[in-house]
Amino acid sequence: MDFEQADALNQAIRLLSLRHRARAAALLAPLGLHPGQEALLLELARTGPMIQAELSEALGCEPPSVTLMSRKLEAAGHVRRTPAPSDRRASVVELTDSGKALVGQIKQLWCALADETVTGLPAQTVAELPGILRTLVGNVDGRARRPHGSGVA
């Protein structure tokens, strides 16, 4: 791929990151949430109580990030953290009633955000988009972890 194309792609991804996050922040602010926190709440709503290591895996971010996220959500009253009975190292995170109530609102504006994000795209493209994006994620994620370093790094 020549540089023009590569730059168009990389720059578009960078801008999408900034803008989509900024838009999510604007939508979540009225709920008292910062972007990132909604992902934790949604994951708990989807899967039920989880320990932080599982959350870290599910959210795709590192354990220290999960520690901070869950602690802030606990301080806000949306989440409860209790020691795991079977493993004294682990702590189970689960939604409180307040958190469950919030999830409903998050789901609404999550739909609104997705709708406005894909405005103007043909339905087929919209349908394919999540799969395409996940392919991209898998591509850059895989290379970052597998040690078959392609020479450049």
Partner DNA sequence: TAGCATTAGTTATCCGGATAACTATTATGC
Partner DNA sequence: GCATAATAGTTATCCGGATAACTAATGCTA
Point out which residues bind its own copies (CB under 8 A). 1-3, 5-24, 26-27, 30, 39, 42, 60-61, 107-121, 125, 128-130, 132-137, 139-141, 143-144, 150, 152-153
Element (H, E) at 35: none
In the complex, what is the shortest distance from the CB of residue 88 to DNA, in angstroms, rounded to a whole number? 3
- Among 90, 96, 103, 99, smallest CA distance to 54 is for 90
- Name the packing angle between helices 63-75 and 52-59 (round to 10°): 110
Kindly tell me which of 4 and 62 has the beta carbon lying closer to DNA.
Answer: 62
Nearest distance in Å: CB 112, DNA? 19
**Residue 105, C-beta contacts closer than 8 angstroms, at least 6 positions apart:** 31
Measured from the CB atom, the residue of 92 and 103 that comes closer to its own copies is 103
Structure tokens at 85: 């009975």
Q: List the single partner that 56 binds among its own copies, DNA, none, CB under 5 to 8 Å by kind.
A: DNA
What are the distances in angstroms from CA 94 to CA 62, 91, 106, 134, 148? 19, 10, 16, 27, 39
Which residues of the chain form contacts with DNA (CB under 7 A)? 14, 18, 22, 34-37, 39, 51-53, 56, 60-72, 81, 84, 87-91
